[in-house]
Amino acid sequence: MQSKFDFDYDYHQETLVAILKEIIAMPQRPNGDVLSRVLRKYPRQDDKSMHSRTQLVQAYRKFAGQYDIPPYDEEQMVKLRRKPMRTISGVTPVTVLTKPFPCPGECIFCPNDVRMPKSYLSDEPGAQRAEQNSFDPYLQTYVRLLTYYNMGHPTDKIEVIVLGGTWSFYPETFQIWFVKRIFDALHDFGNGIDRRQDVWDALEQGSQLHPTHNTNSVQIMGADFNKTYNQVVQDIYKAEINRSRELAQGIVSGTVERSPIDEYATWEELEAAHRYNETAPCRVVGLVVETRPDHISEEEVLRMRRLGCTKVQIGFQSLNDDVLRANRRGHNVAATRRAVQLLRKAGFKIHAHWMPNLYGSNPVLDVEDYRKMFADPDFRPDELKVYPCSLIESAELMQYFQRGDWQPYTYDELLSVLIDVFKETPEYCRLTRVIRDIPSTDIVDGNQLTNFRQIASKELEKRGERSMDIRAREIRHQKVETGTLDLDELYYDSSIGEEVFLQFITPERYIVGFLRLCLPAKDTSALHPDLDDAAIIREVHVYGQSLGLGENESGIAQHSGLGKTLIERAVQIATERGYAHLAVISAIGTREYYRKRGFSDKALYQVQNLGEYQT
């Protein structure tokens, strides 16, 4: 029986087909005005309203190859897709948040919204999605996949980004369970199975995090800081914390039967999910977690790798010990150096967070700090989020502001710092985000513009300059002819040896694909037996609009053989440098890809024996 919420595509076939034919005939993706004119020309047959872009996406999937509409073509889907920039970097990102939980930090600049994991705000879009889904990993993942599918985006190559507080501070059993449930959602979605109602019912029955139960109205005010975030969270969620602990004990002892929301899973269960994902319809091509430098150890690094992680977001915030101390960050620069070294030895991509305008700093010190980040081989992150400090009402920084000890930068001061940031960022680094997308209603004073990246870029353009970071050079929608590309090689020192950034670029230095190759010094001890006497491929990425597995489009970089060529060059370099092996920190869903390119499965990495290439 059809629900009143279902859309009858067959009933609306005449108008939908007419719209699709007009759009397919267009040489490029229509802008909003052009699309609106077409939609008004063919209104819905029932209420004369306009069809939505989501309905056009589903209609194209249904009617392609019929009614004089050509067979399905990814290039035509791009014309219909909502928010095409979401997957323009080649993968489909799915962000999930962990639940509110104590944090080891006491940073004075950090928001203290007890409805959220530490440092997040309840009215940020991603945080709202998490709260609406009870912070459950299965629900968050499934709902996000469904949204992408309805908008016309591919859902087979997924980068999973786990945010929220300090990942390394959550219990190991929670970590295993959280990641496994993400994989469960991916597998169910890919196979057309929907268990959301079962999860929702279990949450409604037994979890304080369900929206109908999670009704706390406690607020921490930074100007009157009587209780810390940790104290309030432990008090509010005491029952939830105790329930999780007791259930885990009962599951281990065999006295409790597990439900979908019980925060417990074994390594064996997660590894079984990993094996299935290797050839699943929705594959994980990257898994990211975020943590603090002082919570990185050899044990933690190897645990993250066993979970399937390939990238770590890590809060540098500052490389000035005086500034870190003044902001009660809880660690020094030496801890950041050790953390980066361990992550690099393990082959992880390093995604740093850096904050100008912290208490105790100033624009001159910030620019010096930023230059140090890339001048000093101990740092040199692969990706970077630049988050100028914002004044949030729940942050302890409010007291410093009210005393006149700290002020947000003026427009001109912030612009000056960001221009230097753009100019000082090397080609091997990607500025993932500039300015955190905090709702203006949460900012007490200071910058509320979220488009400062564009403002700074335009100012650089006026000066005849441009940012050379990866994001500014991505090929995006441009067509490419592989024969016109140059393979550029950038060598730079790191804390454990040397890095090679191999990049395919156009004559204008726009980037189409790249590979990060780590060449550890021969006297560097390997972090894991898989990495003995091995160079390490830390990342292979080909840009351009994300295509489905096995799809290929003329002029689109993905699936044009660039990745294979980059790997072959990495093999050649590693062989020339005398390494016995070439390892790769592959994601679960890319294992098949690397097997086809000569890599064999080891315990935590895939490895190719270079002996046959030695001369």
How confident is the model over 424-436, as a mean pLDDT? 95
Long-range contacts of 291-294 (CB under 8 A, 24+ apart): 291/166, 291/167, 291/168, 291/169, 291/315, 292/104, 292/105, 292/166, 292/168, 292/330, 292/331, 293/331, 293/335, 293/336, 293/338, 293/339, 293/340, 294/104, 294/330, 294/331, 294/335, 294/339
Q: Which residues pair with 94 in a beta bridge?
A: 160
CB 119 within 8 A of CB 111: yes
How confident is the model over 327-353, as a mean pLDDT? 98
Q: Is 549 helix (H, G, I), strand (E, B) or coil?
A: coil
Q: What is the mean pLDDT of the chain?
A: 91
Give tens-digit pLDDT for 60-76: 999 999 999 999 988 88
Residues of the chain with CATH 3.40.630.30: 474-613
12-21, 130-139, 266-275: which has the minimum mean pLDDT?
12-21
* Residue 56 confidence (pLDDT): 92
* Residue 612 confidence (pLDDT): 60
Q: Which two tokens stand for residue 301?
A: 């690094």
* Residue 449 confidence (pLDDT): 85
Whether the pLDDT of residue 468 is over 70: the answer is yes
Exposure string for 107-121, b = 16+ CB within 10 A, e = fewer: bbbbbbbbbbbbbbb
* Residue 339 confidence (pLDDT): 98
Torsional sign, CA 78, 79, 83, 85: positive
Domain 292-472 indexed as CATH 3.20.20.70? yes
1-15, 93-107, 337-351, 414-428: which has the minimum mean pLDDT?
1-15
Give tens-digit pLDDT for 123-146: 888 899 999 999 999 999 999 999
Element (H, E) at 575: helix 562-576
CB 583 within 8 A of CB 530: yes
Instruction: Looking at 313-439, list the stretches that DSSP marks H as alpha helix, in order from N- to C-terminal side.
Output: 321-326, 333-345, 363-375, 397-403, 411-424
Distance CA 591, CA 612 (A): 22
Residues 6+ apart with CB under 8 A from 233: 100, 101, 102, 114
What pLDDT band is residue 508 in, cutting at 50, 70 and 90? very high
CB 583 within 8 A of CB 537: yes
pTM confidence score: 0.93
Look at strands 581-584 and 606-609 and give their pairing.
antiparallel
Other residues' Cβ atoms within 10 Å of the Cβ of residue 14: 12
Give tens-digit pLDDT for 218-250: 889 988 888 899 999 999 988 787 777 777 777
* Residue 552 confidence (pLDDT): 45
- Tell the CATH topology of 474-613: Aminopeptidase (3.40.630)
Residues of the chain with CATH 3.20.20.70: 292-472
Position of tokens 């392609």? 64
Whether the pLDDT of residue 564 is over 70: the answer is yes
CB 57 within 8 A of CB 74: no
Look at strands 430-434 and 311-317 and give their pairing.
unpaired
Distance CA 523, CA 537 (A): 19
Give tens-digit pLDDT for 516-543: 999 999 988 999 999 999 999 999 999 8
What pLDDT band is residue 570 in, cutting at 50, 70 and 90? very high
Look at the chain and count its residues.
615
